[in-house]
Amino acid sequence: WETNGTLWLCHVTNFIVEESTSLLSFTPSTAQHPPSFLKVKDTIVLPCCFEILSLNCGTLMKETLRYLAGIVGPSGYGSKSTAEQVAHSCSYLVDSQRLTAIITGATSGIGAETARAVAKRGVRVVIPARDIKKAAELKERIRKDNPNAEVILCEIDLSSLASVKRFCNEFLALGLPLNILINNAGIFSQKLEFSEDKFEMTFATNYLGHYLLTEMLIEKMIETAEQTGIQGRIINLSSVIHSWVGRDCFHFNQMLHPINYNGTRAYAQSKLATILHAKEIAKQLKAKNANVTINAVHPGIVKTGIFRAHKGFITGKNLHILGASTSCYVALSPQVEGMSGKYFVDCNESNCSVLANDESEARRLWRQTRALIRRRLYQTPC
């Protein structure tokens, strides 16, 4: 529990869960005091989601301690590993060939650090951005850190299907290879907003835009992998809060046009969708015997620009250099060669929710999304 700004962790046998205006507060009812407490500077606040939040307290404490202590997992990395450390130690990159990576949402936060770390390792970075001025500023910072870095800027609005299609056509016209696609961009909105396609903004940006981006670029990635012999890798940024979504509140049409909007729920739904997307595309790639993988990652508990407007939502790991490490690991590490359809947390494979592992749900979502985009963008039947 927290006293005077300090979080004290001990073994707690039972919790009383009290719901406040915006948070779930955990109050120990009975506690066995160990010889010493663990004093930490980080503060973790769990937001109140929608209806019921079920937690295994023993698992919660174990994972919280692992996270705060930065204990490394089987990969040799943990929550305290930085993006640059991970990228530097990876031998996946072939020195004689320059890899190309597209990273969305790279103008700030985790995306910017991911771009900086992989560019420093020699990867050509393509940054599609809505704000070209911010993208240019990032390019300047990357070039200052690494004068030989190649950074290409393009314009995109991920909430707009037409804009995503336009970017993909522009990129393909460049004739560049494509080895890595990091679907990093994401938004969190407390108020209900709609995209130009008349879809709820969070779902449109975090999921629909990246679905179309992946669909239009995946053949280029397969082609690049065949020509170079280097495995292509797609990374979907998800979140641990995907597990807060129950089957009863994961309905496609309701996510497109919600009636009773809840910002946290919308964000969690979009992040569940990104995992299901990775699961389904992984199956399709395997069926094609394609040398391309797709995985989902949770970057850890990081304060990013997404949550600026949501006071108290999450405080804790405030360093983007740590939050970007898992994306870099899955994009570059030889340890994940051939792994596809998996979920990673703090640079290690982890477990996602039962619903996120539901193959029929993943297939259903893919079919519904495909039909929607074809009707909206191509004016053709599914």
Q: What is the pLDDT of residue 323?
A: 78
Cα separation of 52 and 83, whole Å?
35
Given a cut of 70, whether residue 5 has pLDDT beyond it is no
Given a cut of 50, whether residue 14 has pLDDT beyond it is no
Structure tokens of 322? 């740590």
> What residues act catalytically?
261
Mean pLDDT in the chain?
Answer: 81
Q: Give per-residue pLDDT as tens, 200-259.
A: 999 999 999 999 999 999 999 999 999 999 999 999 999 989 999 999 999 999 999 999
With respect to residue 77, please indicate whether it lies within any of the assigned structural domains. no
Which of the residue ranges 10-14, 172-176, 214-218 would you say has the lowest mean pLDDT?
10-14
345 and 240 Cβ atoms separated by less than 8 Å: yes
Domain that holds residue 335: 83-378
Q: Give per-residue pLDDT as tens, 262-272.
A: 999 999 999 99
320 and 366 Cβ atoms separated by less than 8 Å: no
Total of domains in the chain: 2
- Give backbone dihedrals phi and psi of 70, rounded to 5 degrees, phi first: 70, 30
Q: Give me the percent of the chain exceeding a pLDDT of 90.
A: 65
At residue 314 the predicted structure's pLDDT band, cuts being 50, 70 and 90, is very low
Q: What is the pLDDT of residue 38?
A: 36
Is the same domain home to 308 and 212? yes
At residue 7 the predicted structure's pLDDT band, cuts being 50, 70 and 90, is very low
Is the same domain home to 209 and 304? yes
More confident residue, 243 or 80: 243
Q: Give per-residue pLDDT as tens, 285-303.
A: 999 999 999 999 998 755 4
Give 215's Cβ-side CA count (13 Å radius): 19
Kindly report the pTM of this predicted structure: 0.81
Is the same domain home to 95 and 35? no
Given a cut of 60, whether residue 306 has pLDDT beyond it is no
Is the same domain home to 91 and 65? no
Cα separation of 104 and 97, whole Å?
23
Longest dimension (CA), the chain: 68
With respect to residue 358, please indicate whether it lies within any of the assigned structural domains. yes
